[in-house]
Amino acid sequence: MSDSDASPHRRGRLIVLAGPSGVGKSSVVRLVRQVLPELWFSVSVTTRDPRPGEVDGEDYHFVTADEFDRMVTDGELLEWASVHGGLHRSGTPAEAVDEALDHGKPVLLELDLAGARAVRASKPEATLVFMAPPTWDDLVQRLTSRATEESAATERRLETAKVELAAQEEFDTVIVNTDVAHSCEELVSLLVGRSSVG
């Protein structure tokens, strides 16, 4: 069968993954991208500075505040939000998402709570998945051990995390990230539509 799929009108599945900073979303997504090569992963646009090891265009598209303003004005973003009390802004390029879905590819968006809510409003067919830590103490430990930011920024992230954890019931599925491989398996099954049996 050719790459142009036998059922061209079957749209791909849209999965939105959210959860508090430090819960391990990036590690799980990295593994999902390895085991599911047909996955189309949306790379968010952000105004924050890259963290050590992050690659522009792979982890995020890092842009200036002015460029972000232009994208918002031109309607190029599916969703966008101020993150961690205005620390920075992030958003999802809209056109690329629709194009991938139209081609029948599974699409994964890794967003914050506000972003997930915005996508639910504009694309009700999306499945919202919340990634939770095993315990609150575990999350605190992960965030404080990062040591890439000053303590004030870490405190903001913890405050944001409390709000996000309180909103779990808004999501279709909750994955407790006790093990990266298991969390990856759960996410892949949602993306490709496999039942838990098979």
pLDDT in tens, 11-46: 899 999 999 988 999 999 999 999 999 999 888 899
User: How many degrees, rounded to 5, is the angle at CA 88 between CA 85 and CA 92?
Assistant: 115
Q: pLDDT at residue 58 above 70?
A: yes
Q: pLDDT at residue 184 above 80?
A: yes
Do the beta carbons of residue 14 and residue 109 sit within 8 Å?
yes
In angstroms, the first-to-last Cα distance of the chain is 23
Look at the pTM and tell me if it is higher than 0.85: no
Q: pLDDT at residue 61 above 70?
A: yes
Number of H helices, E strands in the chain: 7, 9
Q: What is the pLDDT of residue 162?
A: 93
Q: What is the mean pLDDT of residues 63-71?
A: 95
| Structure-block tokens of residue 173 | 């599925």
Q: What is the mean pLDDT of residues 172-189?
A: 96
pLDDT grade for 125, boundaries at 50, 70 and 90: very high
Q: What is the pLDDT of residue 194?
A: 57
Half-sphere exposure of 10 (CA within 13 A, CB side): 9
* List of residues 6+ apart from 183 with CB closer than 8 A: 24, 28, 131, 175, 177
Q: What is the pLDDT of residue 59?
A: 85
14: nearest Cα among 98, 136, 77:
98
Q: What is the pLDDT of residue 188?
A: 95
